[in-house]
Structure 1
Amino acid sequence: MKPLEGLLVLEFSQFMAAPTAGLRLADLGARVIKIERPVKGEAGRQIAIRNIFVNGDSLVFHTINRNKESYAADLKDADDLERIKKLIAKADVITHNFRPGVMEKIGLDYESVKAINSRIIYGVVTGYGTKGPWALRPGQDLLIQSLSGLAYLSDTNDAGPVPFGLATADMICGAHFVQGILAALIKRAKTNTSALVEVSLMESVLDLQFEVITTYLNDGGKLPQRSSVKGNGHAYLSAPYGIYQTKDNYLALAMGNLHQIGNVLGIDLSEDYPDKSLWFVHRDEIMLLIAGQLKKKITAEWLNKLQSEGIWCSEVLTYDQSLQHEGYRVLGMQQEVILPDGGTLTTTRCPIRINGEKLYSNVAAPRPGAQTEEINHQFNLV
């Protein structure tokens, strides 16, 4: 039995952050019902990456909405809205990521929903919170990265702002959303009362940077200084932290004793950089020395030398290399889901294990309104 079995979640959410949280709750055993527009469903069904569509919906929609059900309702229709309110009365959690004011206009804001169900956990995702000059801006990942300072942490100091190559804000916000919902459920179990859980993309990305923001706030307001050497992995860490080119490929060096690393590589770094503080001050010139040495041999040779001395390092793999590696295969991260048309789609599983058990599910994302009639009968909504 999965830990959240018996929990009913109504997802009035679209796009990525909030549905990602719904995906995780479903993976953990909750019954997640997406409340969608009739026929077309939520807008995220048409938001694609790589322009790949499966069964009429974008591939990314399938990755985020597997293992859920779909209930079609027009929230502007009085009869549909009444049915939704009946469903809310029997739910444990509802989530939404509409713009501030939308649920209030419909009559499904927190206070109204709490009057229907006094034990409801009401979850809201916004872009920037509900107040301030950014509150009504589009809550989109790249915009959040750009406004939060995140874009000035990667690449070299002359590169300008560099965005992450994935939906960082959405993913971390979805994780925070799950944490808040689970905490509220524990509180409800103790107090039998409802709770309002609110997260925003901006706050999540700021929290993601808590180490470097705290450093900035306690370092006299000095901005992060990215290295001038390509491959540096962190604006605040000392040499040798980064990725280096070898004779045939690349090699990653994590933090470690610089003198020991120098000895293994065949360069004496102890005389010119005897103190650890100098590893920060002279980060770039030390990295250049290491880079020049690593280019003399192939990655496999360096790995053999460094790993035998307990130095933290790794080869740098592409997807085709990483996902074919035994280290990946032994994790059992892949699963196949069965699509509504009977085909299959390969994706990843939930990364959490419960009592040693990996959490798999072969249930694909539903078509819009696929379970409407079934839910109507089961919950006596009509």
Structure 2
Amino acid sequence: MLEGDACGPLAGVRVLDVTQMLAGPMAAMRLADLGADVIKIEPPEAGEFNRTHGYAGVDIEGHKTTFLGLNRNKRSLAVDLKSAAGRELFHKLVAGADVLVQNFRVGTVQRLGIDFEAVHKINLRLVYASISGYGLSGPGAGRPGQDLVLQGYSGSMWFVGAESDPPVPGGIPAIDAMTGYQVAIGVLAALRGRDATGVGTHVEVDMLSVVLDAQVQELVTYLNAGVVPARGTEAGAHAWVGAPYGVYRTADGWLTLAMCPVDVLGDALDDDVLRSYTRHEDAQLHSAEIYRRIRPRFAERTTQQWIEHLDGFNIWSGPVYDYRALEADAQVQARGLIVEMEHPEAGTVRTIASPIRLDGRVSSIRKAPPLLGADTRDLLTELGYAESASNRR
């Protein structure tokens, strides 16, 4: 819910989160941050994948950091969906839910009897979101989808570096995260549509579609002009963006330099050769020469000295932070981007605030990531089950 409010904009919306890994939990958490009652459905024995296979194996008092980062503001129900009793319980939850989000491999929901057609017979108003790697149809539908695999599959690895470099993968699972956001957008649109029609829809989002969408400017250029991205002899930040777009070593670290007119950079560096490149296309035509010419210059000053100097010419630049520097950054602190939550076993856990602000306020953390099955008893009571069913499987 929103800080200072009694409830968030999605208060009263119940979401069944039958997901694991990153994209699905991210989507459900974003809905939870906005006030939805998100019930995380987990296998009773070990719970969701991230409870036991967190990032780099790091944990806090036995709790994996990945799970802690992706599951705040949720309740946990431990139930075995492979059992008849578990499916009966799940169907009862479906009857009163507004949204279901699942990212099982294609075909699994049919085997479990929790596919869109099956649950829509129970609740016609249910918005059902499916997340997959390659879509629900086609020859590759059954293949597992994972961020690194999709980076290679989508062609996006070829935009960074020099022509002699191997394909360069991204350092963060951006496709997973973007997929989670697209799912949340699709769910919100479907809820709006249900308000008008009374009928829930099947929202489908696949990682391949998401990463192609993220490359829309590059792909539209290729598809309509036949221009294929080609990396140059010098390492740049994007095959189709000319110099000085890139990363440069300074006297004490690294500096990023965004797109700027080369002649303006010539003024900043007092370089007549650069000043002579006055046309926009010069940045691409002479990229290799420009990169070779300016790299040694940036080693002459510190990163902060360069930023202050380049600011005077309206040239966009910035530092390359490690996580320690990021944590200490004045803007990060001023915006409150790092927040704390109290976990019943892990204690005080520092995490990242929701990126969504409404009326200038960020969504608050009203509940830390739940212990496995911590809310099973309460949820079974809400569904009318007797006390003895609290460990139902």
Task: Return the alpha-carbon distance in structure 2 between the equivalents of residues 72 and 247 of structure 1.
Answer: 55
Match runs of 1:232-381 below 5 Å: 232-269=236-273, 272-341=276-345, 343-361=347-365, 363-381=367-385
Name the CA shift for 1:342/1:303 in 2 (closer, same or farther; >3 Å): closer
Identity, % of aligned positions: 37
1:11 aligns with 17
Deviation, 1:142, is 1.2
State TM-score, norm by structure 1: 0.95
CA contact (8 A) 1:333 1:349 kept: yes
Match runs of 1:143-292 below 5 Å: 143-220=149-226, 222-230=227-235, 232-269=236-273, 272-292=276-296
In the TM superposition, what whole-angstrom CA distance separates every residue of 1:26-84 from its partner, at most 9, and x where no partner exists? 11111100111113112232222221123434211111112211111111222221111
1:125 aligns with 131
SS of corresponding position for 1:218:
helix
2:70 aligns with 64
Match runs of 1:69-148 below 5 Å: 69-148=75-154
Moved more, 321-330 or 306-315: 306-315
Deviation, 1:270, is 5.5
Deviation, 1:109, is 1.1
SS of corresponding position for 2:379:
helix
Task: Return the alpha-carbon distance in structure 2 between the equivalents of residues 298 and 10 of structure 1.
Answer: 51
CA contact (8 A) 1:12 1:36 kept: yes
CA contact (8 A) 1:335 1:362 kept: no
Amino acid at match of 2:140: W
Q: Report the number of matched residues.
A: 380
Task: Return the alpha-carbon distance in structure 2 between the equivalents of residues 87 and 301 of structure 1.
Answer: 59
SS of corresponding position for 1:169:
helix
Task: Return the alpha-carbon distance in structure 2 between the equivalents of residues 381 and 283 of structure 1.
Answer: 69
Task: Return the alpha-carbon distance in structure 2 between the equivalents of residues 181 and 311 of structure 1.
Answer: 40
Task: Return the alpha-carbon distance in structure 2 between the equivalents of residues 44 and 296 of structure 1.
Answer: 46
2:4 aligns with none
Amino acid at match of 2:228: L
Task: Return the alpha-carbon distance in structure 2 between the equivalents of residues 71 and 55 of structure 1.
Answer: 21
| RMSD of Structure 2 on Structure 1 (CA) | 1.7
CA contact (8 A) 1:86 1:381 kept: no
Name the CA shift for 1:195/1:55 in 2 (closer, same or farther; >3 Å): farther
CA contact (8 A) 1:184 1:195 kept: yes
Name the CA shift for 1:269/1:81 in 2 (closer, same or farther; >3 Å): same
Name the CA shift for 1:362/1:320 in 2 (closer, same or farther; >3 Å): farther
Deviation, 1:360, is 2.2
1:37 aligns with 43
Task: Return the alpha-carbon distance in structure 1 between the equivalents of residues 305 and 360 of structure 2.
Answer: 36
CA contact (8 A) 1:338 1:362 kept: no
In structure 2, the gaps of 5 or more residues are 1-6, 387-393
CA contact (8 A) 1:153 1:226 kept: yes
Deviation, 1:89, is 0.5
CA contact (8 A) 1:258 1:269 kept: no
Task: Return the alpha-carbon distance in structure 1 between the equivalents of residues 278 and 83 of structure 2.
Answer: 74
Deviation, 1:368, is 1.6
1:21 aligns with 27
Deviation, 1:303, is 2.3
CA contact (8 A) 2:261 2:278 kept: no
In the TM superposition, what whole-angstrom CA distance separates every residue of 1:109-163 from its partner, at most 9, and x where no partner exists? 1111111001000000011112223222221211111111122122222111111
SS of corresponding position for 1:4:
coil
SS of corresponding position for 1:276:
coil
SS of corresponding position for 1:199:
strand
CA contact (8 A) 2:255 2:318 kept: yes
CA contact (8 A) 2:265 2:274 kept: no
Amino acid at match of 2:317: C
Moved more, 83-92 or 356-365: 356-365
Task: Return the alpha-carbon distance in structure 1 between the equivalents of residues 369 and 57 of structure 2.
Answer: 18
In the TM superposition, what whole-angstrom CA distance separates every residue of 1:237-262 from its partner, at most 9, and x where no partner exists? 12211111223322222112221111
Amino acid at match of 1:210: V
Deviation, 1:209, is 1.4
